[in-house]
Structure 1
Amino acid sequence: MARGVYIHIPFCHQICNYCDFNKVFFKNQPVDEYIEAVGKEIEIVVKEMPEQFQKIETVFLGGGTPTALSATQLERLLQLIQEKLPMEHVVEFTSEANPDELTVEKLIALINGGVNRLSMGVQSFDEELLKKLGRTHSNNHVYETIQKAKEVGFQNISIDLMYGLPGQTLEQWEDTLDKALQLNLPHYSAYSLIVEPKTVFYIQYSKGKLSLPTEDSEAEMYGLLMNKMKANGLNQYEISNFASKGFESIHNKIYWDNDEYAGFGAGAHGYLNGQRYSNHGPIKKYMESVESGNRPTVREHVVSTTEKCEEHMFLGLRKNEGVTFKEFEMRFQVSMHEKYGDIIRQLTQQGLLIEDEIGIRLSEKGRYLGNDVFQQFLLED
């Protein structure tokens, strides 16, 4: 049964140099028609498997950039979501946003449409680094937009930050963290840059024209991040996420708990009935499929028991609380030690895992080497 719903809005007014998500320039796109197609897809899927949508806890608008839409377009999208999805159990409704696109009209449309959480892509408070990233907002946009959001009624506001950026120094990162924390928000996410294929940064990197911080420098940045967040009373509840009590992202926790969720929109991914699936990415193909009355899926994969075990471990270990022995055994009818005992002992001896009577979790050292730890739980089928 789906705990969450992700809805993809693939339109952007500016394409960032690091972004590899499914997106297109907003101009000359069939935006209004796309919104109607999303509504129709939701209707098709909910009608096909109503039992999957009885207790949705979260809805998440991602992209692309949902706030690239006009206020009128946002109103229509949110109207369709409210009409087509069973929303009575939804406690968290998030929209991603760009600081320079959130007008008061859009903020009102979002809050009136049921959105109660904003996730803003800030990335840095160094305006030269923002230009390198291809971002169009300024620091003033961030300050003004957060103030407007609070005045409209948003209390649950998160911002995304990035480190390990081209030419970024520890001092620049510290300044960004200080400015971010001065906003006194209840939630922060911070991610190290990954140079993904099919991005501007990847082209620059492959030509030797992208100067990135060393691994040691990036580790210093991560350590500074954890220390600053802790000093400001924010709990690190996942490798890259920090929150005041009660403001942890419920939607993201669905992913880390390896629970099921539906994905709607062009290029969206979902996990329903033990199957992972993805939709057509090209907007035209997506819309044609929906208009013909079909689910617009292009790939479906039945997740094997071994894969479910692996995913449960490497996703669950992202959380500070880690993975419990009880939950693992309930899901898979085998003890975690029977499946992974040697690996757990080895990683514990290396100081990368902590084990107690409840379960296992990453040590502080393990957080720095998370990907290395996760890889150990990928077994051959």
Structure 2
Amino acid sequence: MNTRYTAPEAVYIHIPFCTNKCFYCDFNSYVLKGQPVMDYLDALEREMERTVQAQPPGKIATIFVGGGTPTVLLPDQMAHFLKLVRTYFPDQHENLEFSMEANPGTTDLEKLTAMKEGGVNRISFGVQSFDNGLLETIGRIHNTDDVYRSLENAAKAGFDNMSIDLMFGLPNQTPEMMEKTLNAALALDLKHYSIYSLKVEENTLFHTMYHKNQLPLPSEDDELDMYLLIMRRLKEAGYGQYEISNFARPGYESRHNTTYWRNQPYYGLGAGAHGYAEGHRHVNVKGVQPYIDRTKEGLPHLERFPVTEQEAMEDFMMVGLRLLEGISGDDFTAQFGIPVEEKFGKTLEDLISRGLLERSGNKIRLSEQGILFGNDVFASFLE
């Protein structure tokens, strides 16, 4: 069965509000002050209603609320929002994974309790570093005390499935500083860690600073040392690296993100959200008020386009190889009706001969060397 055309079992919902804009962030987010939050939640309800009418959902297995910072919602707004999710996506797997991103500066016990009561069972905290100086450098509003307080409150509210995001390759960061952050992070003994390298994206303060030669980034060698250190320390602590930037205790891998990496359908709701269903991708209108206005007329799509067979095959390889278990030839054939070798045989032979990919039975995955040069590997599959 071609899984590209099955009903989505994953839902992504975007809450675009933040207390402030971090210096590296190019996500679709807006400073909260003066924003029409309740109007936005009403617009989300209209989009949910129209979406499930147009594309009825399967049994929902994962929900992910991202942003922005979803936890800037007040406790009553949070409760209202979570009730909407239950209303329009009522048919849920008994082991539903319901994740919400959180900023350590915006989570008190009352709000976390509202989240737990509303069905959220997994929290991803945007910590980024345990070095207060670095947090200030990148424009975060929280400090390490806020992190510990938030994790303590989350445990009090009944959460035991928690993840934190960390970053490496930050301005003036050294491998020694990264090691201290890892020591602090691993001492928490959480179920999951996401650890990303800084990317200097357009339309960010860091991009402006970079072009003015005012962004003192670590050398490539130091950045590589940090990544090797991260992989070694997480492995020693008993975490499986299941994706290039993600590490988990067995059974606690992010099932929602794995939906993306397996190139499976998902709903994308909210301003600027992306979705993939019925062989089409869509992108929603970005601005808060334009999004609200558009939902009064119909679905708030900025664009919706069919994914060609060629693009779908490229996506399958590029996102699937991010997972360290790699891609399965059987899955490729199930989706596209031909063996993977028929489409990408020459590329695969070349990458295997260069030691960047390895084959094990019907699986193809990144080698240890390939993990370090993932972007080069993924680009090889683009025509």
TM-score interval for Structure 1 and Structure 2 normalised by the shorter chain? over 0.9
Residue type of the alignment partner of 1:264? L
**2:127 maps to which residue?**
122
User: Which of 87, 90, 100 pairs up with 1:83?
Assistant: 87
In the aligned structure 2, how far is the partner of 1:364 from the partner of 1:334?
A: 28
What secondary structure is seen at the aligned counterpart in 1 of 2:222? Answer: helix
**1:157 maps to which residue?**
162
**1:192 maps to which residue?**
197
The offset of 1:54, in angstroms, is 2.0
Contact 1:20/1:197 (8 A) holds in 2: yes
Residue type of the alignment partner of 2:313? C
The offset of 1:334, in angstroms, is 1.1
**1:263 maps to which residue?**
268
The offset of 1:14, in angstroms, is 1.2
In the aligned structure 1, how far is the partner of 2:17 from the partner of 2:299?
A: 21
The offset of 1:350, in angstroms, is 1.1
**1:335 maps to which residue?**
339
Contact 1:94/1:118 (8 A) holds in 2: yes
**1:375 maps to which residue?**
379
**Aligned counterparts, 1:1-381, within 5 A:** 1-50=7-56, 53-89=57-93, 91-292=96-297, 294-379=298-383
Which is further off, 341-350 or 161-170?
341-350
Residue type of the alignment partner of 1:372? D
What secondary structure is seen at the aligned counterpart in 2 of 1:100? Answer: helix
Which is further off, 255-264 or 329-338?
329-338
Unaligned runs of 5+ in 2: 1-6
In the aligned structure 2, how far is the partner of 1:86 from the partner of 1:304?
A: 32
Contact 1:165/1:212 (8 A) holds in 2: yes
Residue type of the alignment partner of 2:375? N
In the aligned structure 1, how far is the partner of 2:81 from the partner of 2:271?
A: 15
Identity %, equivalent residues: 47
Deviation string 1:149-176 (CA, Å, 9 cap, x unpaired) is 1121101100000001111100001111
What secondary structure is seen at the aligned counterpart in 2 of 1:210? Answer: coil
Deviation string 1:271-296 (CA, Å, 9 cap, x unpaired) is 0111110110011111111123x000
In the aligned structure 2, how far is the partner of 1:343 from the partner of 1:41?
A: 42
Contact 1:3/1:55 (8 A) holds in 2: yes
Residue type of the alignment partner of 1:267? G
Displacement over 4 Å in runs of 4+: none
Q: If the length of structure 2 is used for normalisation, what is the TM-score?
A: 0.97
The offset of 1:19, in angstroms, is 0.5
**2:4 maps to which residue?**
none
Contact 1:54/1:86 (8 A) holds in 2: no
Q: If the length of structure 1 is used for normalisation, what is the TM-score?
A: 0.97
Q: How many residues align?
A: 376
Residue type of the alignment partner of 1:141? D
In the aligned structure 1, how far is the partner of 2:305 from the partner of 2:137?
A: 38
Please report the RMSD computed on the Cα atoms of aligned residues, expressed in angstroms.
0.9
The offset of 1:88, in angstroms, is 2.2
